[in-house]
Chains A and B, each alone.
Chain A
Amino acid sequence: MTLRTTPFHPRTAPLMEGQAWRRWAGYVVASAYELSHDREYHAIRNAAALFDVSPLYKYLITGPDARRLLDRVVTRDVAKCKVGQVLYTPWCDAEGKQIDDGTISRLGEETYRLTAADPNLRWLHLNAAGLTVTIEDVSDRTAALSLQGPTSRAILEGAAERDLAKLRFFHLTDGTIRGIPVTISRTGYTGDLGYEIWVDAGRAVPLWDALIETGAPYGITPAGMLALDVARIEAGLLLIEVDYFSSRHALIESQKSSPLELGLGWTVALDKARFNGKAALAREKERGPAWQFTGLAVDWDSLERLYAEVGLPPRLPTVAWRTSVPVYSNDRQVGYATSGGWSPLLKQYLALAHLEAPVAQPGARVCMEITVEHRRKQAAAHVTPLPFFNPERKRA
């Protein structure tokens, strides 16, 4: 047996130049189509990048109690989600520790689609005790593309033959592209102007063709996970199993994080009725979270100096890294960075880090460990609020 391929595979496979596939939720997806991911990254910020995000877990939740179920599970107030709106939200266990995060799209009065990074069917069923609701795993049935970048709107307007200026950030609309029914949501994982297009898996290939054809004049570029990783770090967006552990996977207590610690306090609606983790989160908010998830920008001069000591120019990570790196303040470890990399756009070495809350003041000076010629050094860095990059066009 081989790994599964996504519904777009007939189109993505021939593009692959370096056989750089990787696994995502049991599927193979592209790390990068070209031998280097540079051009794919720049397409995100300069034109439009097209990602195959079909491996996302997708659940269709329908019925009179669909909203109640979601409200029990997630921290956001789902009652405030109107038809045609999308919410980003984390969800927690009873202790207020984050299990996963994803989006809720309200497709109709009693119809919602939840996307998730991890399988959540069992958890949804456990929460549905006593509710009149149907939970369907539509992960295989629904294919998804993410079209991200400044020209994405123009491409989609051309393909869907309609004006999308009115489609606001985190809203969705139904439409057709060359006769293929699709749902278009103004969402993404790049922090840029962008859309996600949801389609029946059976019609995935013609949709791909339509977008590529329409997008060619606008610089549409199929892109892989390496480019996405750089963009999401610039946008300060969390990645599960990298920046935080699902509380369900954590082996010890200290591996767990709460949304408050992850900088997602704005998603925790303590004023709504009971939801998983509410009491614990209320208590945590009261006393203040112990950790703060934040950005770090490494000081160039410091980096340059550390390399100069061994007679080298600064070496920069060519791809975003995903290891845990200690962060110090006055020679005491005050946290750890979980993702980082060079931003080709901002010309900065960026990292996402968990810091002890008192240290995590914007502008505060800390040191991040880097390895220079096999030796551990500390590079100066300063705490930077997220996102690092937040263009107006994202919401405009």
Chain B
Amino acid sequence: MTSPIRYDAIVIGGGHNGLVHAAYLARAGKKVLVLERRPRVGGAAVTEEVFPGFKFSMFSYVVSLLRPEIIRDLSLPRHGLHILPLESTLTPMENGDYLAAWGDHDETRRELCRHSPRDAEAYDEYGRLMHHMAHAVKPILGMVPPDPTSLNPRDLFALLRLGRHFRGLGGERLHALVKLMTMSSADLLDEWFETDVLKATKAASGIIGTFLGPRSPGTAYVLLHHYMGELDGVFRAWGFAKGGTGSVSEAIAAAAREFGAEIRCDATVARVLVKGGRATGVALQNGDEISAPVVVSSLDPRRTFLQLLEGTALPEEFVADIRRFKFRGSSGKVNLALDALPNFTCMPGVGRHHRGAVSISPSLDYVERAYDDAKYGEFSRRPYMDIVFPSVIDPGMAPPGKHVMSIFVQYAPYHVNGGWTDAKRDAFGDAVIDTVEQFAPGFKSLILHRQVLTPADIERITGLSEGNIFAGELALHQLFFLRPAPGWAKFRTPVRGFYQCGSGTHPGGGIMGASGRLAALAVLGDGR
């Protein structure tokens, strides 16, 4: 059966990048169809009522980097997007003390002073440097990466401009940028601070989603992400979306629909139809075929090229590059329904710290040891965790008086020794809960329900290969013109009319939407 409607473009996958992409195409007047395998849109940005009355941002749980131009272009606030700030970070220490960063500068300074007056000063200077660095990197996130191997004048020109941009930074900032791109977060932080727990908490944000430890080079630049948002005038950019991250997806979907896009759920694409080296449409698992001159995949590179294009002849070197592209999911998620908020030893009672993040990263060695376990194929016995209580800020997430607790856990390697089994998943969940219990005695008795998601579960449910939350590791050698493969970083693919727009393309990572948008601009540019 073929579809009677003629589509200009089909977008495979209704995650946030696919939806952003579709919205931009529809906004430009294209007739767009989005095909989503699951019953709901969102991909890894979904809110689900996992237990009756308890809603969870199942996977991705904070919104930080969603490009403000997307929010504006698609009028997302009108479609229900409301980002609530996440103001503080509390790190309980093993000796019963804590480190806290609050929303107020003076207060944070005072808290840091308690640990080290020198660090309190360095903190401000470090923040300024990061601000400069984010400023230096920002143009790159918004550009289509030029291909340094190409002799095309447009690429050469873009390279030259890029070179000039970096030289224009001046020596000091250029050097700082090189350091940031190449160092380990621990080494970089060592140059600034002496307080271990401060370094650990900062470094932890540098390992999220990577298969690296805080002492591994290449983790420093992830520190930048914390400062990116501020440049767009979104002060304190970390936040929850009201209604969970699913509401971000819903808002984008609503915008896309308003522009005329059609979104079909429960529609699994089996493969992309290719005729004479050109994409002509897609075949669904149920046998339906839908044709369109443009097909765009928001799935990760492995699924996009090795699954959807299975059987299509692709350049050998390209296939080798895609096979080499690393996923190595390293994180899990534990979602809990709670009878009451936990009581942390270091800061007893219910307080404003429950409105912010709680970081289980008491020391650099603690986080590094968590990595050591993963390095050799085990989940961390005592993992790094980033904990939030969305129901405190957004009461709609849980029944009155009850709470939901979201625990991002690292490391949980996809390739765990012996593979993930139900028993291993339970053991992993136990390790997480036992560790929290150490910092908040009595916590276990508050748990009403628990959901444990391993990278294998993340892969099974969302389709993200190896459960990598960034659709491919954000390592230096998988960024920019190398994401996902050299020569194919401009959203085009070796198959004409077939494009990629997921997080596995430049710039990738987080609920940012930049890939979807840039890819849409590329598609529209080619159409002209």
A167 to chain B, nearest CB (A): 33
Contacts of A121 in B (CB 8 A): 117-118, 121
A122 to chain B, nearest CB (A): 4
Contact B120 A119 (CB under 8 A): yes
Cα-based distance from A137 to B110 in the complex (angstroms): 14
CB of A305 within 8 Å of the partner chain: no
CB of B317 within 8 Å of the partner chain: no
CB of B314 within 8 Å of the partner chain: no
Contact A1 B120 (CB under 8 A): no
Nearest CB in chain A to that of B111: its residue: A1
CB of A249 within 8 Å of the partner chain: yes
Cα-based distance from A119 to B107 in the complex (angstroms): 15
Per-residue contact bits, chain B 121-143, to A (CB 8 Å; 1 contact, 0 not): 11011001001100000000000
Cα-based distance from A249 to B102 in the complex (angstroms): 21
Q: A248-B125, A251-B132 are in contact. Are A125 and B118 (CB under 8 A)?
A: yes
Contact B106 A23 (CB under 8 A): yes
Known A-B contacts: A26-B107, A119-B120, A248-B125. Give 8 more (CB < 8 A): A3-B106, A3-B107, A4-B110, A26-B106, A26-B110, A120-B121, A121-B121, A123-B121
B109 to chain A, nearest CB (A): 6
Per-residue contact bits, chain B 301-332, to A (CB 8 Å; 1 contact, 0 not): 00000000000000000000000000000000
- Contacts between the two chains (Cβ within 8 Å), count: 32
B129 to chain A, nearest CB (A): 10
Contact A122 B125 (CB under 8 A): yes
Contacts of B118 in A (CB 8 A): 121-122, 125
Contact A137 B117 (CB under 8 A): yes
Contacts of A248 in B (CB 8 A): 125, 128
Nearest CB in chain B to that of A24: its residue: B106
Contact A1 B107 (CB under 8 A): yes
B199 to chain A, nearest CB (A): 16
Contacts of B122 in A (CB 8 A): 122
Of residues 3 through 49 on chain A, the ones whose CB sits less than 8 Å from some CB of chain B are: 3-4, 23, 25-26
The main secondary structure of chain A at its interface with chain B is: loop
A279 to chain B, nearest CB (A): 17
B121 touches which of A1, A122, A249, A251 (Cβ 8 Å): A122
Binding site for A on B (CB under 8 A): 102, 106-107, 109-110, 117-118, 120-122, 124-125, 128, 131-132
B356 to chain A, nearest CB (A): 14
Nearest CB in chain B to that of A1: its residue: B107
Contact B128 A249 (CB under 8 A): yes
Cα-based distance from A23 to B124 in the complex (angstroms): 18
Cα-based distance from A249 to B120 in the complex (angstroms): 15
Cα-based distance from A251 to B125 in the complex (angstroms): 11
The main secondary structure of chain B at its interface with chain A is: helix
Cα-based distance from A171 to B109 in the complex (angstroms): 33
Cα-based distance from A125 to B408 in the complex (angstroms): 39
Nearest CB in chain A to that of B109: its residue: A26
Binding site for B on A (CB under 8 A): 1, 3-4, 23, 25-26, 119-123, 125, 137, 248-249, 251
Cα-based distance from A248 to B123 in the complex (angstroms): 13
Contacts of A23 in B (CB 8 A): 106
Nearest CB in chain A to that of B105: its residue: A26
Cα-based distance from A321 to B6 in the complex (angstroms): 64
Contacts of B124 in A (CB 8 A): 119
Contacts of A3 in B (CB 8 A): 106-107
A340 to chain B, nearest CB (A): 27
15 contacts between A and B (CB under 8 A): A1-B102, A4-B110, A25-B106, A119-B120, A119-B121, A119-B124, A121-B117, A121-B118, A121-B121, A122-B118, A122-B125, A123-B121, A137-B117, A249-B128, A251-B128
Nearest CB in chain A to that of B119: its residue: A122
A251 to chain B, nearest CB (A): 7
Contacts of A251 in B (CB 8 A): 128, 131-132
Cα-based distance from A299 to B102 in the complex (angstroms): 48
Contacts of A4 in B (CB 8 A): 110
Of the candidates A121, A123, A125, A249, the one having the most CB atoms from chain B within 10 angstroms of its own CB is A121
Contacts of B117 in A (CB 8 A): 119, 121, 137
A51 to chain B, nearest CB (A): 20
B119 to chain A, nearest CB (A): 9
Nearest CB in chain A to that of B125: its residue: A248
Cα-based distance from A23 to B122 in the complex (angstroms): 21
Contacts of A125 in B (CB 8 A): 118
B169 to chain A, nearest CB (A): 12
B333 to chain A, nearest CB (A): 32
Cα-based distance from A278 to B121 in the complex (angstroms): 25
Nearest CB in chain A to that of B110: its residue: A26
Cα-based distance from A249 to B132 in the complex (angstroms): 11
B479 to chain A, nearest CB (A): 26
Cα-based distance from A3 to B109 in the complex (angstroms): 11
Of the candidates B106, B124, B131, the one having the most CB atoms from chain A within 10 angstroms of its own CB is B106
Nearest CB in chain B to that of A23: its residue: B106
Question: Closest 5 interchain pairs by CB?
Answer: A26-B106, A122-B121, A119-B121, A122-B118, A121-B117
A307 to chain B, nearest CB (A): 36
Of the candidates B102, B109, B121, B122, the one having the most CB atoms from chain A within 10 angstroms of its own CB is B121
Cα-based distance from A26 to B117 in the complex (angstroms): 14
Contacts of A1 in B (CB 8 A): 102, 107
Of the candidates B110, B118, B124, the one having the most CB atoms from chain A within 10 angstroms of its own CB is B118
Contacts of B120 in A (CB 8 A): 119
Cα-based distance from A4 to B114 in the complex (angstroms): 14
Contacts of A123 in B (CB 8 A): 121
